[in-house]
Structure formats: C-alpha cells, structure tokens
A = this chain, B = another copy of it.
Amino acid sequence: MAVDVATELAELKKKVDEMQPGALPKLSMVVFSGDLDKLIAALIIATGAVAMGMQAVLFFTFWGTAALRDPKVNVGGKDFMSKMFGWMLPKGRGKLKLSNMHMAGMGTAMLKDLMRKKNVPSLDQLFEMAAQLGVQIKVCEMSMDLMGFKREELIDYPNKEFCGVATFLADAKESSVQLFI
C-alpha cells in the first residue's frame, strides 16, 4: 500500500514537473507601424489591458519609433543619411498620418477633429494615460540606429528601455496576449 502511494506520487510529480507554466495576464505588442490610427489602437489596447489588471509592454520598432520622437528636440552630429531619414520621417506623433484616407492631410485632420468632438482621447492623452497606468515602452535599438535616431530625441516616458528582439520574445512568451501592429 505505502509503496503504491509513493509510486503514484512520483508519477504525479513527474507529470506536474513536465507541465509548461501557464501564461501571465500580460500583453506584449510590437508597434511596427507609424500610422496614427494604428498607434491610437495600440495605445487603447495597452491602457485597456492595464485596466483589466494585466501588465502591458509595447515594443516600438521600425516606423513605430518615429512616433516616439520629441518634436521640440534637435540633435546635431548626424551623418548625411541619418539627416535625410530624419527629414523624411514624421517628427513626433503630431505628424503621423492615417493608414487609410489620409488624403493629403484632409482625412487625418478630419479624424482628429472628429475624435475631439466625440471625446476620444488623442494620441497625446493616450500616451499620458499609458505612462500613468504603467504601460511599459521598450524601443528597438536596431531601428534607432537604422533611422539614425538618438536617445535624446525621444519623448520623456517613465522607464523607457532600449533593447532587441530577445527582450520582446522573453516578454511575449510569458504573455497571454501578443499582437503585432
């Protein structure tokens, strides 16, 4: 009898040990796009996640990093290509366009106006709320280098971190929700 219990206990232990840990209530999102409407969606999901009691981490990469530029900051010492890219890319979230119906600025202006009328928080307000709620922002170092952005150029945001794909994957694989926007 006692032996049986020991055997069964050992088997059960083995089974439990082999189980993969379940995911955490956590959202990991790649913000690849630099489109205004997609950024609004990303920030609404992230702030909503925190409201739901989840952790939220946003990884800004490629065009997404341009949305993090601070329009008030100018940095020198850039090479020619970086300067070119700097001019071509939107300087901060005030300059972002819609993914759709931008129509030379008219569509984008209309949507912003409509959002104001309908009380939908603006991207600025969403960033502020995200910071308050503790949404984490991590920035792809390779994109920063590629686009020629310097760290001083980015907006102030609490505990902003610079990293690579390994950091995203470490977060993503323990998260119950992952998205690429």
Contact = CB atoms under 8 A, between A and B. Distances in A.
**Interface size range of chain A in the complex:** 35 or more
B165 A142 contact: no
Given A1-B2, A179-B179, A48 B169 contact: yes
Nearest to A171: B177
B41 A61 contact: yes
Label chain A's interface by main secondary structure. Answer: helix
A5 B51 CA distance: 42
Interface in A96-116: 99-101, 107, 110-111, 113-115
Given A118-B145, A176-B173, A179-B179, A38 B49 contact: no
B21 A22 contact: yes
A73 interface: no
A84 B110 contact: yes
A25 interface: yes
Contacts of A169: 27, 45, 48-49, 52, 54, 177
Interface in A79-106: 81, 84-85, 88-89, 99-101
A15 to B, nearest CB: 6
Interface of A: 1-2, 5-6, 8-9, 12-13, 15-16, 19-25, 27, 30, 32-34, 37-38, 41, 44-45, 48-49, 51-52, 54, 61-63, 81, 84-85, 88-89, 99-101, 107, 110-111, 113-115, 117-118, 120, 142, 145-146, 164-166, 168-170, 172-181
